[in-house]
Amino acid sequence: MRAYFSRRYRLSASHRLHTDTFSEEQNRDIYGKCNNPYGHGHNYTIEVTVGGQVGAETGMVCDLVELDTCVQKNVIERFDHMNLNLDPLFQHQVPTTENLCMEIYELLADFNKAELVRVRIEETSNNSFEYPVSKR
């Protein structure tokens, strides 16, 4: 029997949406207030979904402590209370939440206790991002 398990995590980080390939005016036009030279912050909610067979003995898809440990080590410790622009992952790409979502997915891809199904990030109460997008 296959089931899915989702767990939520929180982190706070700042970023500035800006690319050197655009002029200052283009950056302001495209990114608006998110192009503030001093950056701005978000309290992100990250939802990680894994799937797999329900263990006959445990009744679980995976041990949530193992998932928590993986997310803590690979995501929270790396990004919480950090400026995303300073992380090597964003040295050559804009730290949009779309890119953050895809990078977090890749950072968790080695979790081998269950299949990583998706990463979803709520940036604000109005904005959320998901990778990969499920085919419904």
Options 47, 98, 115, 123, the catalytic residue:
123
How would you classify the pairing of strands 40-53 and 115-122? antiparallel
- Strand residues in 71-114 grouped as ranges (E): 82-83
Per-residue model confidence (pLDDT) at position 26 = 98
Considering 18, 34, 57, 115, which one is annotated as catalytic? 34
* Domain residue extents for the chain: 2-131
d(CA 65, CA 69): 6
Which CATH superfamily does the domain covering 2-131 fall into? 6-pyruvoyl tetrahydropterin synthase/QueD (3.30.479.10)
Q: pLDDT tens-digit profile of 78-110?
A: 999 999 999 999 999 999 999 999 999 999 999
Token pair of 45 as six digits = 């909610």
Q: What is the pLDDT of residues 45-90, one digit of tens each?
A: 999 999 999 999 999 999 999 999 999 999 999 999 999 999 999 9
134 pLDDT band, cuts 50/70/90, is: low
Q: Is 123 assigned a catalytic role?
A: yes
Neighbours of 91 (CB within 10 A): 9
Q: Is 42 a catalytic residue?
A: no
- In total, the chain counts a number of residues equal to 136
Active site residue 130: no
* Catalytic-role residue among 24, 66, 77, 81: 81
Global pTM reads: 0.95
